[in-house]
Chains A and B, each alone.
Chain A
Amino acid sequence: EVQLVESGGGLVQPGRSLRLSCTSSGFTFGVYAVSWFRQAPGKGLEWIGYIKSKAYGETTEYAASVKGRFTISRDDSEGIAYLQMNSLKIEDTGVYYCSRDVYEYIWGTWGQGTLVTVSS
């Protein structure tokens, strides 16, 4: 079964850092791009950024709201993608999802999400 599982969420103070993991199973992780999304409590979905596969240079792209603070990376040998979040703000609170593309950069397989709460 194709599966993605996010982990690493929790309560963190403003200004601190947190790293989320997206662990894959059931498919060849290295050939797919991975994207991260988030959803603030009771709000809509927001795209954070993505990382292409090694075949495409592991190129990354980010939303303006997180550029310079968040970094996406991947370890294909472990089948894991990471979201490193620095200088966290209260407005970064939400459920964070990772997703794999099913067609070129169309996100069709999603994890169940992990909750990040930024609060003092």
Chain B
Amino acid sequence: DIQMTQSPSTLSASVGDRVIITCRASQSLNGWLAWYQQKPGRAPKLLIYKASNLENEVPSRFSGSGSGTEFTLTISSLQSDDFATYYCLQYKSAYTFGQGTKLEIK
């Protein structure tokens, strides 16, 4: 099984900040990684797929990068709507989520 380690678990930031969330996989994913945003009481929303491809209608301030076992989600300039929990998801072999990163207002 592929294990995913996501960090940090909590991140405090302000509107306008640049934030980076990291996911590390227990083996190479060949880029088969997605990022999701989830708000309380809501279903997850796909942001990024294949490590760096922006899903339709997702703002360009979101970007993904990485390869092999290490991947990052970057939000270039936080907006108030971005405070949520973020999950990475590997889909190279079955599916495994990271533990999540709760992005809070500082």
Contact = CB atoms under 8 A, between A and B. Distances in A.
Contacts of B62: none
Interface residues on A, range: 20 to 34
A47 B45 CA distance: 15
A45 interface: yes
A3 to B, nearest CB: 11
Contacts of A57: none
Contacts of A111: 43
B91 A105 contact: yes
A44 interface: yes
Contacts of A35: 95
A35 B94 CA distance: 11
Contacts of B45: 110
A26 interface: no
B94 A45 contact: no
B28 to A, nearest CB: 18
Contacts of A105: 91
Contacts, number: 47
Contact of B43 (A46, A47, A103, A112): A112
Given A97-B43, A108-B55, A111-B43, A45 B49 contact: no
Contacts of B44: 37, 45, 97, 110
Interface string B11-45: 00000000000000000000000101010001111
A26 to B, nearest CB: 16
B49 A44 contact: no
Interface string B70-106: 0000000000000000010101001111111000000
Task: Report the 5 A-B pairs with minimum CB-CB distance, sorted nearest first.
Answer: A110-B43, A47-B95, A108-B46, A45-B97, A44-B100
Interface of A: 35, 37, 44-47, 61, 63-64, 97, 99, 102-103, 105-108, 110-113
Given A106-B34, A106-B50, 5 more contacts: A44-B100, A45-B89, A47-B94, A97-B44, A106-B49
